[in-house]
Amino acid sequence: MPPLLLSLRPSPSPCLRLRRLLLFRCSASSSATPSSSLAPYHASFDRRMALAGIHPHHRIAVGVSGGPDSMALCVLAAAWKKAAGRKAAGEEGSDASEFVDGLLGVVVDHGLRPESSDEARLVRDRVRGMGIECEIARCEWPDGHPKQGHVQEAAREVRYQKLLDICIKQQIGVLLIAHHSDDQAELFVLRLSRNSGILGLAGTAFVSQLFAPNLKYDGENFRRYGVLLVRPMLDFSKDDMYKICRGSNQSWVEDPTNNSMMYARNRIRASLRNLSTEGTFLSGVHKLISACRLARTCVDGTWSMIAKKSVSILEYGYAVIDLEKLDPLNVDDLCLLHYLAYILQFVSQRHRPLRGRSARLLLDYIRTIPCKAALTVAGCYLCAAPRSKGSKVLVCCSVDWMESSSAEISYKCSYEEWAPPVPEIDQIVLKGLLQSNQFIQNHSNIPFMYSKSSIDVLNKAKDLNIIDDFTLEKLCYLRTDEQNKFVAKEHKDEEHDMEETKFPDCNVLSLCPGETCHFMSRFLITWKAPEDVNEICLHENEEYLSKICNVNLDGSLEVRHMVDADWLFLAEVCNIHSVEENLSDPKVSSGKMQMDNAPHHYRYLQQSAQKALQTLKCIPAAARRTLPVLTNTQGDIVCIPSIGFRCCPSLSIQAVFYPRVPLGGGYSSYL
């Protein structure tokens, strides 16, 4: 679905503004479609919603740009809700309420042009005129606008964030987006030009799970919040969208930026439109996309089954792959790479696809049995698990990745209370997984499972008679043409980025009593306020408290990852001499770990270090380096909460491995 009028242009002339306003007010006029002909669209929409596990009683939001796609979606969603309401009430009359119950339209105003606010209000009023409650979400840009050359990508990211925020606040668990089959065809060609494999060529998911960037507080605990993103219009074409709007006498927006050839999607759209009249070209493309989606569904199901029996997730933030149970030599490349990508993305919380050289290195590494070497790839460090004789592989977060990204994905959590996550989401996901498993069992002949590139997919599709020679020729041409333009643009963007490179401030994550932070989006660290802690400091004297407990003067501690010197420090603490030895041996008393005037404190410190060291010995060295450590500004270690070390019983700090995004990235369906 194209974003709402996203062009970054100077303030237009009065004539241009008038032309845009006319474009914005275009509506169904002379060529209206009889409303009776909309019945097949309503029936198809009902089937797709049922397939997604979504029912009329669910609270639903609709992303609305004002274009024919989103307005058609509003028409069908409102009719679907109203029909269920009349059936439940046992009457055929109109609804008594002004707005459809449990349906909210959301218009995102990107604020990139002076007239965008007026346009957003116009769309909101039109949606309300359809009987759908609607609100506007306004974007705020740190620099006043997105980065030049990345407008569409930045606007899309912010748009989904705004939609997600409103859904969470309104306790809405389902977000409908108006992507249709022509959008899928455009995306297919775009990814062909980027040499995507079969997984990328499957396009956007029918249903996917979208998670908030930060954990939220439900009044008792911090939890993941998210919504189900559903695209129920994937069976419809762009022409169908116009027919639905005309048949319901509904006005829509024509976005003038959709005609700009500076954007790849627009160029591809124009090419596909020209080719749509050529024989079976477009139908062949859609058959090919359907075959790719079938393969994607199979791969998703396969990796999930393999993961259940071959991978273990440990409470200290790392994974262990059992190579004997995985049997990687007998798993095809596609499924194995998908399996490994999800494990690495989960451990690192770095959600980027594995491609090219990284993918080949990883496949070769995991198929070398027994495992003897180490590999750093995609934000993770892999090596043989201790005492496994190379039969198991340890996967932990790379220290280099942590040091380069800590400031970006570590944050303090807000104690603003939110209503609990919508419970229906888990129920819908469970039913969807059962449905996908049943679908896979009924389809044994899956195409493209051994295709290694986009060209392999096209040639295989021709061999299977999914596409004809003409379609193959034109797709290859479109792929090469757009690929050349992409390479040229990439070089230009690199030069522009080098000119405008800004190095971010290296902000240190700090924590105070009564606060919680999410370290690397992996460890949830909570420091209880003093009034909530039963145990007290062993020193009544505040001077001793600051010197020995090592808390900063402002009461805060800094959070970093563990380094090798930290467990040497624990071993040193374990060897603290007794009070008598301190008094009799001046050499000891001059050392760093002297007893000073606080023997009770050091006894506690020693016991805490001994227990922590015992726990640490059970954690592989590579995984230890990813554990959070709290220090003061002088660098003194105050607490290592994951293994229970703390310098004073009054410091009640806990750390739990709780990644922002679960293993597998959440639920998705390509049915």
Same domain, 247 and 152: yes
Which H helix or E strand runs over 429? Answer: helix 424-441
Question: What does the angle CA 335 – CA 336 – CA 340 come to, to the nearest 5 degrees?
Answer: 120
Residue 294 lies inside a defined structural domain of this protein:
no
Alpha-carbon span 455 to 630, nearest angstrom: 51
Alpha-carbon span 645 to 282, nearest angstrom: 64
Residue 319, token pair as written in the block: 């994974």
Burial class (CB in 10 A: 0-12, 13-18, 19+), 90: exposed
Choice among 37-51, 502-516, 593-607 with the minimum mean pLDDT = 593-607
Residue 349 lies inside a defined structural domain of this protein:
no
Mean pLDDT rounded to a whole number for the chain: 84
* Cβ-Cβ contacts under 8 Å for 4 (sequence gap 6 or more): 65, 66, 67, 107, 108, 109, 110, 116, 119, 120, 123, 253, 255
Per residue in 184-219, is it b (16+ CB within 10 Å) or e — as a string? bbbbbbbbbbeebbbbbbbbbbbbbbbbbeebbbee
Residue 42 lies inside a defined structural domain of this protein:
yes
> Of 544, 536, 532, 446, which is closest to residue 202 (Cα–Cα)?
446
Same domain, 516 and 478: no
User: How many separate domains does the chain show?
Assistant: 2
Alpha-carbon span 363 to 396, nearest angstrom: 17
Using the predicted structure, report yes or no on whether residue 530 has a pLDDT greater than 90: no
pLDDT (0 to 100) of residue 404: 82
**Residue 645 or 434, more confident:** 645
pLDDT band at 487 (very low <50, low <70, confident <90, very high): low
Residue 91 lies inside a defined structural domain of this protein:
no
Q: What average pLDDT does this structure show over 287-302? A: 92
Same domain, 479 and 554: no
Residue 653 lies inside a defined structural domain of this protein:
yes
Alpha-carbon distance values, 584 to 555, 580, 589 (Å): 36, 6, 9
Same domain, 454 and 555: no
pLDDT (0 to 100) of residue 18: 36
**Residue 669 or 262, more confident:** 669
Alpha-carbon distance values, 654 to 35, 524, 525, 594, 606 (Å): 61, 8, 6, 28, 19
Cβ-contact 71, 245 below 8 angstroms: yes
pLDDT (0 to 100) of residue 599: 67
Which structural domain range is residue 173 located in?
38-85+98-277+441-488
Q: What are phi and psi of 467, to 5 degrees?
A: -125, 160
Q: What is the pLDDT of residues 142-171, one digit of tens each?
A: 777 777 667 778 888 899 999 999 999 999
Choice among 76-90, 240-254, 310-324 with the minimum mean pLDDT = 76-90
Using the predicted structure, report yes or no on whether residue 475 has a pLDDT greater than 80: yes
* SS3 label, residue 6: coil
Same domain, 461 and 607: no
Alpha-carbon distance values, 194 to 19, 109, 201, 447, 478 (Å): 36, 30, 10, 21, 11
pLDDT (0 to 100) of residue 533: 55
* Cβ-Cβ contacts under 8 Å for 534 (sequence gap 6 or more): none
Q: In angstroms, how far is CA 37 from the centroid of its own chain?
A: 39
Choice among 136-145, 333-342, 427-436 with the minimum mean pLDDT = 136-145
pLDDT band at 205 (very low <50, low <70, confident <90, very high): very high
* Cβ-Cβ contacts under 8 Å for 43 (sequence gap 6 or more): none
pLDDT band at 603 (very low <50, low <70, confident <90, very high): confident
Using the predicted structure, report yes or no on whether residue 308 has a pLDDT greater than 60: yes
Any bridge partners for residue 174, and if so which? 60, 228
Q: In the listed set 430, 455, 488, which residue is the last one of a domain according to the structure?
A: 488
pLDDT (0 to 100) of residue 176: 98
Choice among 69-78, 347-356, 593-602 with the minimum mean pLDDT = 593-602
Q: What average pLDDT does this structure show over 553-564? A: 88
Same domain, 61 and 146: yes
What is the pTM assigned to this prediction?
A: 0.87
pLDDT (0 to 100) of residue 485: 81
Q: What is the pLDDT of residues 28-43, one digit of tens each?
A: 444 555 566 899 999 9
pLDDT (0 to 100) of residue 33: 55
Q: What average pLDDT does this structure show over 624-636? A: 93
Alpha-carbon span 330 to 332, nearest angstrom: 6
pLDDT band at 26 (very low <50, low <70, confident <90, very high): low
Same domain, 554 and 456: no
Same domain, 172 and 270: yes
Sort residue 283 into left (φ over 0), alpha (ψ -120 to 50) or beta.
alpha
pLDDT (0 to 100) of residue 120: 92
Residue 203 lies inside a defined structural domain of this protein:
yes
R_g (Cα) of the chain, nearest Å: 29
CATH number, domain at 152? 3.40.50.620
Cβ-contact 69, 180 below 8 angstroms: yes
Q: What percent of the chain has pLDDT over 70?
A: 83
Same domain, 469 and 603: no
Same domain, 76 and 165: yes
Q: What are phi and psi of 5, to 5 degrees?
A: 45, 75
Residue 397 lies inside a defined structural domain of this protein:
no
pLDDT (0 to 100) of residue 630: 95
The number of residues in the chain equals 671
Using the predicted structure, report yes or no on whether residue 325 has a pLDDT greater than 50: yes
Same domain, 479 and 515: no
Same domain, 551 and 521: yes
pLDDT (0 to 100) of residue 651: 86
Q: What are phi and psi of 119, to 5 degrees?
A: -65, -40
pLDDT band at 598 (very low <50, low <70, confident <90, very high): low
Residue 253 lies inside a defined structural domain of this protein:
yes
Using the predicted structure, report yes or no on whether residue 536 has a pLDDT greater than 80: no
Cβ-contact 47, 228 below 8 angstroms: no
Q: What are phi and psi of 538, to 5 degrees?
A: -75, -5
User: Strands 653-657 and 523-527: what pairing?
Assistant: antiparallel
Q: What average pLDDT does this structure show over 179-202? A: 94
The secondary structure of residue 24, as a DSSP letter, is H
